[in-house]
Amino acid sequence: MDLLHLNQLAQGVRSLEESITLIERDILSGRNAIQYLAVMVDQASAEDADMEIAIANAGLPLGFSVPLKPSKRRVADVADEEVASAFRYLLELFRIADKRRRIQCGAPNCGHWWHQDLSDPQILRAVEDMFASIRQRQH
């Protein structure tokens, strides 16, 4: 899962269940996704108060905890059977923090691609073209 996929998930453009199925089939991909999400949560400035809301929104039990504080960019090793739950939690934490950032940024007038409506075909095409251009320059 790449950054575009994760941001589309956060905006509700992609299916969460489809992504969970992918993670359950490929734990390494899931681990990579939660590492991406941990960085995204940090960049979106998640707050401690967001954590309980994220747990509830993700449908996880109240005692659930992922070894992540919003100020850290690292997720400690999560057991294979916890990867999908960690993914759900971090995605919800990102959704909460990113929504706040989108309001502060003034989306859709914000210049960040991830604060744009990623369900809009024109915006999506522009973002995909940007990523293709970056990949071409890297080769």
More confident residue, 57 or 107: 57
Reported as a single tens digit per residue, the pLDDT across 1-33 is 899 999 999 999 999 999 999 999 999 999 999
Tokens of 84: 């999908």
* Tokens at 112, concatenated: 């960040």
**Coil, strand or helix at 37:** helix
Q: What tokens does 89 get? A: 């939690």
**What pLDDT, on the 0 to 100 scale, is given for residue 71?**
43
In the block, residue with structure tokens 């950054």: 3
| Tens-place pLDDT, residues 31-43 | 999 989 988 998 8
Torsion of CA 99, 101, 106, 108, to 10 degrees: -50
pLDDT tens digit string along 33-90?
998 998 899 888 889 889 889 999 999 987 777 655 544 445 657 888 889 999 999 9
